[in-house]
Structure 1
Amino acid sequence: MSIPAAGLSGCATLDTMLGWVGFGEGATVQETPEALAMEGMADFNRGKYSAALKRFVEIKDRFPFSEVALLAELKAADSNYYMDKFNEAKILYEEFEANHPTNEAVPYVLFQIGMCYYSQIGTNDRDPGNAQNAVQAFGRLNRAYPQSPYFVEASARIRAARDFLAQHEFSVATFYLRIDEDKQAQGRLEYLLATYPEASITPRATELLAQLKSGKGIEKSWRRFVPTLSLPDWQTFTSAFGILPGGGSSGGTAKE
């Protein structure tokens, strides 16, 4: 997906920056921050993120007070993100938010912080920390900017991440059953149903909890059952927000 021309209020807009053709008087084309910005954007738009990142870092280092410095900060974060360097990207997005809290690009930045966590969600038997952090990050975006163009996609990704967390809880519960820790399993299932009542795994969790509470014991097939579950496609949740599955986001920019 394409990245929007995120606004840079208090400075020149991205469209203005990319439209500049005049450079500093007496400077060579290669030495101007505007030229570096255009070269960086050209590389970025061609998918040459490493080369683009070098241009943006050079602007930040050599021309921190130039009119394209804000652009360089934002696109350096984007370049890292598209190279799957999510931790590095998240740090840069957070720095942008801290340094420019009133900038009109902040909703996009908050969305991308959420995506840095979301993109690192693993299989359901791994540490659920990234899913939890993604829920918190997208939630913070939606609370602060409920009218942003990222609201629907962020909401759908919250639902997907919560579904993943419910699957993780179910996996832990079945693990306890396999080692004959029925009380621990019951506690995890009760927590799952109380915390994630909307999750796709809820019917299975309800059935298993009922068997545990019946006092009749659990079928051995449950003890051997290891669910093969993973992060669902976030687009399947968009119908809850008035968009049909597969219909695209309401302005989200990040890759799947």
Structure 2
Amino acid sequence: MNFFKYFILLIIFLITVSCSKDKVKKSVINEKNLDAQVFEAYQKGMDSLETGDVLFAAKKFNEAEILFPQSEWAPKSALMAAYSYYTQDYYKDAVAELERFIRIYPYYKDLDYAYYLMAISHYEQIVDEKKDLQSIVNAKINFSLLVKDYPNTEYALDAEFKLDLINDILASKEMYLGRYYLQKKKWIPAINRFRAIIDEYDTTIYTEEALHRLVEVYYIIGLENEAEKYAKLLSYNYQSSKWYEQSYSVFNKKYKKKRKKVKKNKVKNKSILKKFSSLFN
């Protein structure tokens, strides 16, 4: 009787082991098939990208990611979907893909590239600094992040260059508004705009003019000490510029008259030289 019990248990054990092996074998086969499907979808995406069919390419890359989200192909496919949109100027779609990528794969090894592509997608939407302020701001945020968090990458180098251009754009906007308020004799808004250039965009080409405009406005409203402070700052940094001369003339009216007289004489002398040289023709 005991022998019969052991015999039954042995048969059950053998059946269980056999089924387990079949399941493992079937699982391995399914995984191999799935991996092949992912690679096939990814390859179709690459082929479509090369032929310029970016929408189909992005679709295939998304398909590759969905098929096997735990595989190494998933983050690559997500990035390639974003890049596909970017190549044909579908910037909003590219940004949406990249935002999703950064949210899902925050520790991926090529995260710096994702931020760079995001920054460029915003940057290339800038057409008019008066209208595209949000694109300018978004580009600056992402380029700044690259410089701060990935300083030793090739992307950071280009990001620094692009940030200089963006700051010039933002400073030009402030200058445009500052001049407008100055013309309308709205002194406080004008001061705020010119101060913004000095405080936030002091490395741009608009710094010299902003300093002069502050000298001009403060002098007009009777705050001569403030005007003199900015005139000294302009003198210290940009003594050879035309804006320094104009600021100097705000305090010294005789200097202004003298400069006009010198300029008039120069024009007259130039005219005489021109007539003299014509004798040899």
C-alpha distance in 2 between matches for 1:77 and 1:133: 17
C-alpha deviation, 1:56, in angstroms:
1.3
Distance 1:191 1:67 in 2: 47
Q: What is the distance in 1 between the residues matched to 2:137 and 2:32?
A: 51
TM-score (norm 2): 0.61
Aligned match of 1:82: 87
- Tell me the alpha carbon deviations over residues 204-233 of structure 1, each in whole angstroms, 9 at most, x when there is no partner: 32333322223299xxxxxxxxxxxxxxxx
* Cα separation, 1, equivalents of 2:143 and 2:72: 30
Question: What amino acid is aligned across from residue 198 of structure 1 in structure 2?
Answer: T
When the two chains are superposed, the root-mean-square deviation of aligned CA atoms in Å is: 2.7
- 1:164 correspondence with 2:166: no
Alignment match, 1:123: 128
* Offset of residue 189 of structure 1: 0.6
Rounded Cα–Cα distance in structure 1 between residues aligned with 2:102 and 2:129: 31
The answer to whether residue 40 in structure 2 is matched with residue 45 in structure 1 is no
> 1 or 2 for the larger relative contact order (CA 8 Å, sep ≥6)?
1
- Partner SS, residue 100 of structure 2: helix
Q: Which moved more, 1:62-71 or 1:52-61?
A: 62-71
Of 106, 126, 136 in structure 2, the residue corresponding to residue 101 of structure 1 is 106
Q: Compare the two structures and name the one with the higher helix fraction.
A: 2
Q: Name the structure 1 match of 2:78.
A: 73
Query: Residue 58 of structure 2: SS of its match in structure 1?
Result: helix
Give the paired residue count: 193
1:34 has 2:34 as partner: no
- Deviation of the 1:126 alpha carbon: 2.1
SS state at 2:154 partner? coil
Retained in 2: the 8 A contact 1:131–1:162? Answer: no
Deviations 1:25-67 (A, max 9, x none): 779xxx8221221121122233331221121122234443454
* Aligned AA (1:108): Y
Distance 1:197 1:129 in 2: 22
Q: CA deviation at 1:111?
A: 1.0
Matches of 2:136 and 2:177, distance apart in 1: 16
Mapping of residues 1-256 of structure 1, within 5 Å: 32-215=37-220
Contact 2:66 2:74 in 1 (8 A): no
Alignment deviations for residues 142-190 of structure 1 (CA, whole Å, 9 cap, x no partner)? 2211111211101111111111110111111122234331221122111
3-state SS in 2 of match to 1:101: coil
Structure with higher Rg: it is 2
Answer yes or no: is the 8 Å Cα contact 2:187–2:217 preserved in 1: yes
Amino acid at match of 1:115: I
**Residues 151 and 67 of structure 1: CA distance in aligned 2, closer, same or farther (over 3 Å):** closer
The Cα of 1:76 is off from its aligned counterpart by: 0.8
C-alpha contact (below 8 Å) 1:138/1:155 kept by paired residues:
yes
Identity of aligned residues (%): 25
4+ residue segments displaced more than 6 Å: 24-27
Q: For 2:190, give the aligned amino acid.
A: A
TM-score by length of 1: 0.66
